[in-house]
Amino acid sequence: MEGKDLILINSEIGTRDYYGKGNLESKTFRDIAEDLHIKYQDQIFEYAKSQLSNILQNDRTRLPLRFYYVDQAGNENEIDHSDKVFDIMRLGSEVFWSIQVVGGSVNFRKYFGQHSLELVKKPKYRNWKVIIEGKPGYGIYSVGPDKTSIIRRWEIKPSRDYPQTPPIVTSSPPYSNDPCWDTNGTLHYARFQFGGSPWNDRVNKSTNPLYSLVIELLQKYRLGV
């Protein structure tokens, strides 16, 4: 454990934090959640508002944080808030966290869940898995090498009014020197020169726009192979 940092990554608000070993003595992930709620209070609230309008800024009961790490086989492993940080760091120093907004409309999750299940059930896309077991409407992920053999974790999560607006696609580690990706690892969506967007085109022409998006990303970036 000497000299090893805990790396905390959130794709929803685009953060990456480092905890030095000396700051982790006796800490649990309940302590880490408290630190994150304090440090990113405004960003967490803004994200929550994008998912659910009737929520108060300090209503943490409706904004629990979820922690997990990914093992060498690419499997996602849930971390309980009572788990000690040092115990998890023996398994991996990179930990992902996400904001779980409780309550509100589920229509966008329903549509995304239907589309994501149709995708992950196809043998050709068996490397894609749901982020939360039994809840496909919360997102899907894949771990594997890109065209340059860099191992990445890609996540696709629904926007609050999916499929009218495109899903959120992120990469960890982020892409560098690629105009289609933000420096925090979030995919840009192009627009046509004279109005409209390829995503709107995809929604109008496809019964599963998520599936056609993944095909396009696979062709361009070898994403999810």
pLDDT in tens, the chain (225 residues): 344 789 999 988 889 999 887 778 889 999 999 999 999 999 998 888 776 656 666 667 778 899 999 887 777 888 999 999 999 998 888 999 988 877 655 578 888 999 999 999 988 888 999 998 888 999 999 999 988 889 999 999 998 778 888 899 999 999 888 888 988 899 988 654 444 567 877 777 788 899 989 988 888 888 766
Task: Report how far apart the first and last C-alpha atoms of the chain are (Å, whole number).
Answer: 33
Residue 143 in tokens: 């771990």
Amino acid occupying residue 56: L
Quote the DSSP letter at residue 104.
S
CB atoms within 10 A of CB 175: 18
H-helix segments, the chain:
29-39, 41-51, 85-89, 107-120, 198-205, 209-221
- Residue 58 pLDDT: 65
Please tell me the pTM assigned to this model. 0.58
Query: Would you call 69 helix, strand, or coil by DSSP?
Result: strand
Instruction: Please state, in angstroms and rounded to a whole number, the distance separating the CA atoms of residues 187 and 219.
Output: 15
Amino acid occupying residue 191: R
Quote the DSSP letter at residue 67.
E
Quote the DSSP letter at residue 79.
E
Instruction: Please state, in angstroms and rounded to a whole number, the distance separating the CA atoms of residues 136 and 140.
Output: 7
All domains in the chain, ordered by first residue: 6-99 (3.10.20.90), 107-221 (3.10.110)
* Sheet with 15-19, edge to edge strand ranges: 15-19, 6-10, 94-99, 65-70, 76-79
- Residue 184 pLDDT: 86
Instruction: Please state, in angstroms and rounded to a whole number, the distance separating the CA atoms of residues 40 and 98.
Output: 12
- Residue 57 pLDDT: 62
